[in-house]
Amino acid sequence: MTSIPAALRKFAAEDPDRPAVTDRVGAMSRGELVRRATALAHIYKENGVEVGDLISIGLPGDRSFVIATLATWMVGATPAPVPASIPAAELTNALEVAKPRLVVGLDGGDIPSIADVPADPGMVEELPDVASPNWKALMSGGSTGRPKVIVAKVPAMNDVLTGLAKFVQMRSGNVALITAPMHHNGPFLNTFAALGVGGHAVLPGRFDAESTLRLIEQHRVGWVYLVPTMMSRILKLPDELRRGTDMSSLHTVMHMAAPCPPYVKQAWIEWLGGDVIWELYAGTEGQASTLINGTEWLAHPGSVGRPVVGEMQIADEDGRVLPPGEVGEVWLRSPVGPMYTYLGATARSRGEGWESLGDLGWMDEDGYLYLADRMTDMVLVGGSNVYPAEVEAALDEHPAVLSSCVIGLPDEDLGNRLHAIVQLETEVSDADLGAWCAERLTKYKVPRSFERVRTALRDEAAKVRRTQLRQERLAKIPQRRP
């Protein structure tokens, strides 16, 4: 068994000048990565970091983040990333939950902090090999409004990375393009999976559709991480640009993190082929996961695949397992018991190892899973369940819509009415947007009102703060007197 630091040191010794990470600054070699991480690890130890401690890393998703994370493993600590741009109040909450020994890249207040990673120091004394007992601790939003931290109960051994790479169809030595911020689970996992199999991680920073294609061609990328919003924006590029880009190096496009509208999936399959397009569904907790490629998806359109790790069931509010075709709560069970622990939260469970992430969905006769929406996002309109993701998929298909978010607002007649918040590339009237939805959705699923915003509604990991958006709008609605 080899620790993650030992594996990366071995790659650096074999070919020190080979690129390990490329970001907007340029390429950083394997040798430089190991030297800079080792120097930072010494600084960690000087600040009292011990084996098993958490280190909160609030750095941009570039070489500095990779260096800081590797240095964390080098001292046997656990990386606990937070967004580099996290608001002060959220950072305070996150640090109260995680209780890290050290903060990197941000001001930790009373917690010792390091502003940035040091420059390449040249030769530096290697630290004794040690493996963190918990290889990652990722932050997620909590149902109480406070964050929760999901700590993996797995040591930082390189077989974690090699196993993950194999699972997501990544090959040894791959050039992997990671297009989303690394404080999210998917980008974090896949960046280090690439390094763990001797690969080269290309980290472009903020996503741009055209530059993504250019990077694939320039670096001969074999594996790319995308979320559906990114896939949609790439499809909206001029056809001659897409078709004129050399994508022949790609063997895997892996997408996850949010439901993918069927028209987006279909278009990518037609463009690159079903064997190239892959989708994964799982939670950061890792109880169970599905996997499906485009060819399989064509036989089960809309599905996220069958469980390939762990078990899944669909159950109603009373815990009764539902038959194929009926929508209910998605329950997951690990084959080896919980491989994580929560800080600041409690798992939603119903006994016998079954846990829920709060997703709604259904299974077909062949055991393929189809997601409907999050339980907390469903809107009851006149007694009918509306899943915002379905409405957003219809809106996002409009050529002028860059992103959308659908929420429920109070309505005296229907209980709730659908309100669509849209980011537009070109102006479109409410009537046109309504007519577009009416051609694709049942009448009660068509938004009653539309609101325009200038900023993207989903972040680069395809996450939308639906609850916050709804609360902000509710606060503006005059309260009726009794």
Q: For residue 84, is it within any domain?
A: no
Do residue 415 and residue 332 come from a single domain? no
Based on the number of CB atoms within 10 Å of its own CB, is 125 exposed (0-12), middle (13-18) or buried (19 or more)?
Answer: exposed
Q: For residue 126, is it within any domain?
A: no
Do residue 367 and residue 412 come from a single domain? no
Q: For residue 211, is it within any domain?
A: no
Q: Please provide residue 79's backbone torsions phi and psi, each rounded to the nearest 5 degrees.
A: -70, 130
Boundary (domain end) residue, out of 328, 343, 374:
374
Q: Quote the pLDDT of residue 143.
A: 43
pLDDT of residue 160 exceeding 60, the answer is yes
Q: For residue 354, is it within any domain?
A: yes
Do residue 405 and residue 330 come from a single domain? no
Q: For residue 341, is it within any domain?
A: yes
Q: Quote the pLDDT of residue 383.
A: 61
Do residue 370 and residue 386 come from a single domain? no
Q: Quote the pLDDT of residue 121.
A: 87
Q: For residue 160, is it within any domain?
A: no
Q: Quote the pLDDT of residue 338.
A: 85
CA distances from 404 to 57, 168, 389 (A): 30, 29, 10
Q: Please provide residue 68's backbone torsions phi and psi, each rounded to the nearest 5 degrees.
A: -65, -35
CA distances from 447 to 72, 166, 432 (A): 48, 43, 12
Average pLDDT value for residue range 129-154 = 84
Do residue 363 and residue 435 come from a single domain? no
Please provide the distance, in angstroms rounded to a whole number, between the alpha carbons at the two ends of the chain.
Answer: 68
Of the candidates 186, 184, 164, the one whose C-alpha atom is nearest the C-alpha of residue 174 is 164
Tens of pLDDT, residue by residue over 161-204, are 999 999 999 999 999 999 988 998 999 999 999 999 999 999 99
Average pLDDT value for residue range 403-409 = 92
Whether the Cβ atoms of residue 256 and residue 281 lie closer than 8 Å to each other: yes
d(CA 199, CA 191): 9
Q: Which one is predicted more confidently, 372 or 255?
A: 255
Query: Please, which residues have CB within 8 angstroms of residue 306's CB and are 6 or more apart in sequence?
Result: 290, 292, 366, 367, 368, 369
* H or E stretch at 35: helix 30-46
Task: Specify the long-range contacts of residues 263-267, CB closer than 8 Å, at least 24 apart.
Answer: 263/393, 263/397, 264/228, 264/231, 264/232, 264/235, 265/294, 265/297, 265/301, 266/301, 267/235
CA distances from 481 to 408, 414, 478 (A): 21, 20, 9
d(CA 140, CA 93): 12
Where residue 134 falls among pLDDT bands split at 50, 70, 90? Answer: very high
Whether the Cβ atoms of residue 228 and residue 260 lie closer than 8 Å to each other: yes
d(CA 135, CA 144): 26
Boundary (domain end) residue, out of 315, 342, 374:
374
Q: Quote the pLDDT of residue 421.
A: 96
Do residue 409 and residue 428 come from a single domain? yes
Where residue 479 falls among pLDDT bands split at 50, 70, 90? Answer: low
Whether the Cβ atoms of residue 72 and residue 117 lie closer than 8 Å to each other: no
Q: What percent of the chain has pLDDT over 70?
A: 96
Boundary (domain end) residue, out of 374, 398, 431:
374
Question: What is the domain range of residue 436?
Answer: 379-474
Do residue 339 and residue 406 come from a single domain? no
Q: Quote the pLDDT of residue 141.
A: 61
Q: For residue 292, is it within any domain?
A: yes
pLDDT of residue 153 exceeding 50, the answer is yes
The CATH number covering residue 287 comes to 2.30.38.10
Other C-beta atoms closer than 10 Å to the C-beta of 58 total 24
pLDDT of residue 227 exceeding 50, the answer is yes
* H or E stretch at 178: strand 175-178
The CATH number covering residue 406 comes to 3.30.300.30
DSSP letters spanning 211-243: HHHHHHHHHT-SEEEE-HHHHHHHHTS-HHHHH
Q: Which two tokens stand for residue 382?
A: 């006149």
Q: Give the residues across from 314 on adjacent strands.
A: 330
CA distances from 62 to 4, 105, 151, 277 (A): 19, 12, 23, 26
Q: What is the mean pLDDT of the chain?
A: 91
Report the number of distinct structural domains present in the chain. 2
pLDDT of residue 478 exceeding 80, the answer is no
Do residue 355 and residue 443 come from a single domain? no
Do residue 440 and residue 456 come from a single domain? yes
Average pLDDT value for residue range 435-450 = 90
Tens of pLDDT, residue by residue over 48-98, are 999 999 999 999 999 999 999 999 999 999 999 998 988 887 899 899 999
Do residue 316 and residue 393 come from a single domain? no
Do residue 308 and residue 385 come from a single domain? no
Do residue 363 and residue 272 come from a single domain? yes
d(CA 293, CA 285): 23
Q: For residue 323, is it within any domain?
A: yes
CA distances from 267 to 154, 156, 254, 260 (A): 38, 39, 15, 11
Ranges of beta strands (E only) in 2-145 are 19-22, 27-29, 54-57, 78-81, 102-104, 113-114, 137-140
